[in-house]
């Protein structure tokens, strides 16, 4: 089975009565079966996203081959997405390996530079039928070692979003509307009117980064208001690590390692199933 780009996978999701796709951060190969188990349980297509750090750790080709193989054997339409990458050489490496979706992150640049670089990435990706995500506005918090202080976070404006989409033709746009990357203990305050206005102005799939701290009610409303891709990472990682700590501490040195990992993977599956249910 081929790997789908975001645009094609979104159509599969909508045929199955989902309004949005979850895009789930994979940190290690041991997690991978748990992702596909969740997709099977919910009859959902699957979008797996990889940070540049994970891609270097595991290897681009190994990721492509493993995910393509599981997609075919489990009959789960799947997209493999490179998340938050600002390095055009690293993007080319992912394209050459067979990734089917790319995020160029130029949110730290001026809008003019962000537009120019995004257009370069689109020129690289479109001949390969690879979808491209960009980000506009600064989302606070931490993502794969990249820090944005909360005081430096800036919300995406309607005018900038429309200009960006008009001048790039990007496939999906990540916007800053009140969420935070990484572990967040409070309640995120999504600016729903801003989201609705950007949706109306751009007519382009919008992406929600930093879903931790977003209530189920807010998530459902955001999905109804134009969010069509939701990034999920921190909650899965927290559950996986917490369960591994428990099982490794209780285990014996001659126990099979897989016995330590099964509860952690089950916890990841449960998080995915819960999140996917919010996207209908």
Separation between Cα atoms, residue 58 and residue 257, nearest integer Å: 19
Separation between Cα atoms, residue 168 and residue 162, nearest integer Å: 10
Catalytic residue among 8, 83, 197, 218: 83
Separation between Cα atoms, residue 169 and residue 118, nearest integer Å: 9
Total count of residues recorded for the chain: 280
Cβ neighbours for 95, distance < 8 A, ≥ 6 positions apart: 102, 124, 125, 128, 130
Which DSSP symbol is given to 127? Answer: G
CB contact at 8 A, 162 and 199: no
160 part of the active site = no
- Kind and range of the H or E run holding 68: helix 60-74
Catalytic residue positions?
83
């Amino acid at each position: 089975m081929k790997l789908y780009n975001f645009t094609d996978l979104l159509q599969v999701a909508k045929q199955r009565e989902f309004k949005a796709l979850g895009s789930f951060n994979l940190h290690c190969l041991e997690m991978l079966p748990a992702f596909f188990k969740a997709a099977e349980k919910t009859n959902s297509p699957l979008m797996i996203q990889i940070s540049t750090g994970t891609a270097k750790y595991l290897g681009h080709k190994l990721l492509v081959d493993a995910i393509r193989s599981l997609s075919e054997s489990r009959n789960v339409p799947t997209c493999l997405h490179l998340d938050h990458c600002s390095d055009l050489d690293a993007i080319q490496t992912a394209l050459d390996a067979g990734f089917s979706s790319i995020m160029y992150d130029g949110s730290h640049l001026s809008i003019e530079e962000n537009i120019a670089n995004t257009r370069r990435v689109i020129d690289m990706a479109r001949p390969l039928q690879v979808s491209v995500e960009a980000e506009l506005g600064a989302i606070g918090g931490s993502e794969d070692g990249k820090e944005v202080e909360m005081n430096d976070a800036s919300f995406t404006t309607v005018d900038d979003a429309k200009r960006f989409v008009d001048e790039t033709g990007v496939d999906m746009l990540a916007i800053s509307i009140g969420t935070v990357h990484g572990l967040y203990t409070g309640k995120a305050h999504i600016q729903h009117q801003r989201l609705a206005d950007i949706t109306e102005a751009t007519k382009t799939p919008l992406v929600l980064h930093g879903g931790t701290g977003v209530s189920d009610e807010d998530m459902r409303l955001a999905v109804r208001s134009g969010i069509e891709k939701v990034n999920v990472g921190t909650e899965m990682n927290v559950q996986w690590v917490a369960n591994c700590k428990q099982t490794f501490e209780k285990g014996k040195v001659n126990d099979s390692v897989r016995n330590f990992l099964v509860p952690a993977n089950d916890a990841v599956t449960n998080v995915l199933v819960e999140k996917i249910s919010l996207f209908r």
